[in-house]
Amino acid sequence: MRRTDRLFDIIQILRDGKLHRAQDIAERLEVSTRTIYRDMDTLMASGVPVEGERGVGYMITEAITLPPLTLTVEELEALNLGVAIVAEAADTDLKSAALSLADKVDAVLPTQTIAEADAWKFAVYPFADAARGFSHMPTLRAAIRAKQKLRLTYTSKKAQVTTRTIRPLHMEYWGRIWTLTAWCEMRDAFRVFRVDLIQTAEALPELFVDEPGKTIADYVP
């Protein structure tokens, strides 16, 4: 095992906030206790908040913090999507960490940014498959943000191909599929489209404004 990998593994072991003996860590990583002592000295010297001493044990004493960051809209979307994917991991610690991270990000965003982001951000649901529907994501996301109507060519569950003009409102992640909630002008009602069944998605020059009864807040599944 490379030393950098071992240092990373040590941090993962210490993340639970409990006291860990060097001997136990050494046995777990199949190295000598002396090696763990040296690694702990390295972590402490590099600024990782590890405290302890030889013969007693080691623990992380505080959360690892990051300096303030300024994110673009696209970076925020990428972060949100990454969190959604990790939140579906089988590892319960990773899932918990992803959901906690999402809460922390929301907590520091300006209120206006949160309100705008709610329309396009990816909701998290079980058994998500990140690969579904990616080809149409840029068009759909841009249209939701700009409140721009779309013309969809869509294959229904009955294998019927239809063309719809819609007002895209919200995207969500459901058991291995992406869905797009929209106001369908042909049906004069809300409709939920499976993104993987969309054949084409064309942005129209016509924009729309929120109208009572036609917003995502009015949608009741």
Q: What is the DSSP letter of 123?
A: B
> What residues contact 182, with CB distance under 8 A and at least 6 apart?
150, 166, 167, 168, 169, 190, 191, 192, 193
* Degrees, nearest 5: CA angle 43-44-50: 95
213 burial (CB, 10 Å; 0-12 / 13-18 / 19+) is exposed
Q: Which helix (H) or strand (E) holds 194?
A: strand 189-194
174 vs 176: CA distance, rounded Å: 6
pLDDT tens readout for residues 68-113: 667 776 777 677 777 776 766 656 777 777 777 777 776 666 555 4
pLDDT at res. 63: 59
What sign does the CA torsion over 189, 194, 198, 203 have?
positive
Q: Which residues pair with 123 in a beta bridge?
A: 172
Contact 117, 156 (CB under 8 A): no
Backbone angles phi, psi at 44, to 5 degrees: -60, -45
180 vs 198: CA distance, rounded Å: 10
194 vs 201: CA distance, rounded Å: 12
More confident residue, 56 or 179: 56
pLDDT tens readout for residues 162-194: 999 999 999 876 545 678 899 999 999 999 888
Closest to 150 in 3D by CA, of 117, 183, 197, 187: 183
Q: Mean of the per-residue pLDDT values for the chain? A: 79
Q: What is the pTM of this model?
A: 0.50
Q: Copy the structure tokens of residue 92.
A: 């319960």
pLDDT at res. 94: 72
